[in-house]
Structure 1
Amino acid sequence: MADYTQYFQAVLCPPSEHTAEDFFARSGRYSNFRKETYFIRYLSKHEYGGIVERLHIWQEDAREDCGGYVFVPALPKQPGQGELAQYVALYHQGEYKLPFSFQNRILEEAFEAGFRESLQLFQKSSGRAEESIVRNFAIKMLYWIDQYFPRLFTQTQKIACFPKFVCCGTVKLPEYLFLLLLYRMGCDVLYLSEQQDVCVDDPELLALSVRVEAPDKQPAPVVIRQSPPQSRPRESTVQRSNAGTPQRPAEERQPLSYVELAAMASSVVMLQVFDAQNQCFKTGSGVIINESGYILTNLHVAAGGHYYGVLLEEEPDVFYTDELIKYNQDLDLAILRMDKRRAPIPVCRETSALVRGQKVVAIGSPLGLFNTVSDGIISGFRTVGKRSMIQFTAPTSHGSSGGALLDLYGNLIGIITAGFDDGQNLNLAVDYKAILEFAKGLL
């Protein structure tokens, strides 16, 4: 690695059994000028189409303060004729001017050194040092930098930002070196292909990324695959290996009994929120919404946490995580991730509106009383700030925040958010439409 690693170093994150999913959902850690970064070549014949569908929506999920998300089906080969002159002017006989700059001396020096290294690696790996050949490569790099760096590095003064870049198509040496430059700058990089790997012969260069081949079989649905709602099984019929709820044929569409609904508490967790001194300073609830360990809760529950303890029914141990995946302050929603797997609670996807008087069940941990179940009705609909809220009568208390509000078919219709201390059974939950928008791609 170049000399600038004394200032900033990207450390390659190893793949896991959930490689593609982890790329989408997780960001590496940053400490002491070292940032864990993904550079993955992911080959998957069966998952390819589903991942590409997900990518078209995924770009919208980026938080500007953490860096942009960019997906390109294929890197363009070169700038158009009308743009070519401006990039030619940036490079002349080995001298160049970069079209992008960081408002940070450390990153700016790393960027300058990384571009120089790219030119050297191109000459070394291609065996071509002719001025015209190197110039053509440099022009491509300057064009790609101009196109994608401003969309990825949205906070140029910060070192600890977490942009992500995905591309498909044919990747030869120039494209690979651009992806390598992104990786060197702390950007997570994913090359996605059905079968063909990158067209690079240099083993030293290939060793700077990780090749992962998905199993050659039709996989079970995972977080990055999205199916139209009408093609999914009725959500009240999802198998629950932990709860022991009897399976019901989809066509019956019968309400569950309160005993069956109470059994769904195995997918509702109690959260302990710890500060930097390892002290638990508050508790709350959360709902497992994905089979890979994603927990939906309130931002006001997760806020300020250095790490979190997750308590699960039928588990004697506390599971710990520091992975706050995403949050939205306006909706008061947040998503954590734990390594433990549990069956998720399906989120309601009905097109018909909820109605006043409809029966509901609330599951949470009020006052630390783990997974308390109560019932009531929907008593109204409110708008609080930018949040569409369900008002309901099922009793809750402090600690219920982040818990599940269910309809009688076992669907999550809201995340319990607030109650009125001076009122009796006046409680609010963020509704399922906001949840679907916030957690899209994870359901």
Structure 2
Amino acid sequence: MADYRQYFQAVLRPRSEHAVEEFFALSGRYSNFQKETCFIRYLARYDYKGVLERLGMWEKDDRARQSGYVYVPALARQPDQGALETYIKLYNGGKWQLPFRFENRILEEAFETSFRETLEAFHRSRGRAEESIVRNFAVKLLFWIDQYFPRLFVSTQKISSFPKFACGGVVKLPEYLFLCLLYRMGCDVLYVSESQDVGLEDPELLGLSVVVEGPDRPPRPVVVSTPVSTPAAPPPAAQQPARRPVVTPPPRRQTSSPPARESRQPMPYEELAKLASSVVMLQVFDDQNQCYKTGSGVLINSSGYILTNFHVAAGGRYYGVLLEEETEVFYTNELIKYNQDLDLAILRMEKRRAPIPIYRGPEPLVRGQKVVAIGSPLGLFNTVSDGIISGFRTVGRRSMLQFTAPTSHGSSGGALLDVYGNLIGVITAGFDDGQNLNLAVDYQSILEFARGLL
């Protein structure tokens, strides 16, 4: 498709309260199998919920659906286990077969070329050549094509209905590349986020889209009166150009601030033990696909990021992740970040679970404070024990908590919690010659290390 970024940068305002309406009003020209296409990243700020509501209203319109307008709150994460094999077969070790076809041969060739370029862009941006990583991305791409292309390209002979795709949710490299694929195929694309932009730093890829920012203040309340009498007929079309309606969202309600930590009641141990659903057991595999050690990890955000020890993750070719209430093992080779001095590392998996919040004060931790440890000592999955903070130590650069809750080999990377369910430390070490002498990297080191990923 034709590159018209400069044209749309001139048409779109850098700040707009009505980006949705402006997006749907854009209609690029189409000739000789080329279409003017736009790709917008809209930072909605205060009006995020209102924007999503307006997008939902457009998507419900019958004419919009017939024209190939699609809105999803977030891209579908992954196919279920039964469908996964289908997409793996479609990928066929790199000899892929696309699940959607255009009747027009020129469009079909453009589709095949764009798909190949999207795989190459992923490989180039990641800078890693592991076949399993490329395959996982290709499977996602094929799944999204199967989900959304039939709804967007209602005509496979000629793109004459000007398809538009809008989405919210978290967009990182795989999601962004799929949006780029849509853009290359002549689909207008709108990505809406509340405050954070897409999660990548590749200037070449980011250059395919245009940033538009919402207002930096809440929308003003609007009072709409309903006329009793029949409204006058609108002027003829020749005198007044047709405009899309603007739906103004209601003002955001003010919510009360969450109660301060001091006003909350400590959680009973039965409730604290339920947080084990956000603590994982890690299997570390070598180049011969053998699991040669195990450890623990803690989910620290809703995007599948797992905090563990560096000494647990070090040397692994890939990792198996065991979760409570799941019968299958989830595998990943994504080591996102590590720091040997702090003995911390972060892995990422595709499976999503609620994270454990990291303690942020306001009161400092004190000796004698009750704590709960959750880990997988000696491979005993998610064992829960309790104790107290018995001291504060400094080991190299690490600020450590000494605690008495029993741990053993395999607990490393597990969670040390306060009685309010906050993560105050990552279990790191124990002394075999001492009784209940255990150490954890404290929350301040964790916050420093995980800055930007929480």
1:86-125 maps to which residues of 2 (within 5 A)?
A: none
Report deviation, 1:189: 6.7
Alpha carbons of structure 1 residues 407 and 21: separation in structure 2 relative to 1, 3 Å: farther
Distance 1:355 1:319, change over 3 A: same
1:278 corresponds in structure 2 to 289
Question: Which residue in 2 is equivalent to 1:22?
Answer: 172
**Matched positions, count:** 257
Contact 1:38 1:190 in 2 (8 A): no
2:196 is matched with which residue: 51, 59, 70? 51
Structure 2 CA distance for partners of 1:194 and 1:363, relative to 1, 3 Å: same
Instruction: Give the Å deviation of 1:270.
Output: 0.4
Q: Which amino acid aligns with 1:165?
A: D
SS state at 1:261 partner: helix
**Contact 1:397/1:419, CA 8 A, preserved across alignment:** yes
With over 3 angstroms needed to count, the CA separation of the structure-2 counterparts of 1:324 and 1:373, relative to structure 1, is same
Measured in 2, the distance between the counterparts of 1:370 and 1:266 equals: 11
- Separation of aligned partners in 2, 1:46 and 1:18: 6
Decide which of 416, 432, 435 is 2:446's aligned counterpart. 435
Is 1:331–1:434's contact at 8 Å kept on the other side of the alignment? yes
Please give the per-residue CA displacement for 1:148-169, whole angstroms capped at 9, x wherever unaligned: xxxxxxxxxxxxxxxx335xxx
Find the aligned partners of 1:421 and 1:193 in 2 and give their Cα distance: 56
User: 1:77 matched to which residue of 2?
Assistant: none
Matching of residue 402 in structure 1 with residue 439 in structure 2 = no
Contact 2:371–2:388 under 8 Å retained in 1: yes
**Post-superposition CA distance 1:332-366 (Å, at most 9, x none):** 11111111111111111113210000000000000
2:212 corresponding residue in structure 1: 194
In structure 2, do the counterparts of structure 1 residues 259 and 426 end up closer, same or farther at CA, with 3 Å as the change threshold? same
> What whole-Å deviation, never above 9, does each CA across 1:69-102 have from its counterpart, x for those lacking one?
8xxxxxxxxxxxxxxxxxxxxxxxxxxxxxxxxx
TM-score of the aligned structures, taking structure 1 as reference length:
0.51
In structure 2, the residue matched to 1:313 is: 324
Runs of 4+ in 1 over 4 A off after TM superposition: 9-21, 36-43, 188-192, 230-235
Evaluate the alpha carbon distance shift between residue 21 and residue 299 of structure 1 in structure 2; reply closer, same or farther with a 3 A threshold. Answer: farther
**Alpha-carbon contact 1:44-1:195 (below 8 Å) kept:** no
Cα shift at 1:21: 4.3
Relative to structure 1, is the Cα distance of residues 373 and 277 closer, same or farther in structure 2, using a 3 angstrom cutoff? same
1:363 equivalent in structure 2: 374
SS of 1:434's partner is: helix
8 A Cα contact 1:43 1:194, kept in partner: no
Deviations 1:30-84 (A, max 9, x none): xxxxxx999798844443xx216xx9xx9xxxxxxxxxx8xxxxxxxxxxxxxxx
Q: Secondary structure at the match of 2:446?
A: helix
CA distance, structure 2, for counterparts of residue 405 and residue 337 of structure 1: 20
1:187-226 aligned within 5 A: 191=209, 193-194=211-212
From the superposition, tell whether residues 362 and 19 of structure 1 become closer, same or farther in structure 2 (CA, over 3 Å): same
List gaps (5 residues or longer) in structure 2.
1-115, 124-136, 145-166, 184-188, 215-246, 250-254
Shift of 1:436: 1.2
Structure 2 residue 334 is the aligned partner of structure 1 residue 323: yes
1:353-382 deviations in whole A, cap 9, x for unaligned? Answer: 100000000000000000000000001111
Aligned to 1:100: none
Cα displacement string for residues 254-297 of structure 1 (whole angstroms, at most 9, x for unaligned residues): 00001111111111010000011110000000001111211110
Q: Percent of aligned positions with the same letter in both sequences?
A: 67
Which of these two proteins has the greater Rg computed from alpha carbons? 2
Distance change >3 Å, CA 217–CA 417, structure 1 → 2:
farther
Helix, strand or coil at the partner of 2:355: coil
Give the drift of 1:234: 6.1
Q: What's the Cα RMSD here?
A: 3.8
2: CA distance between counterparts of 1:190 and 1:301? Answer: 39
Deviations 1:201-234 (A, max 9, x none): xxxxxxxxxxxxxxx999xxxxxxxxxxx99846
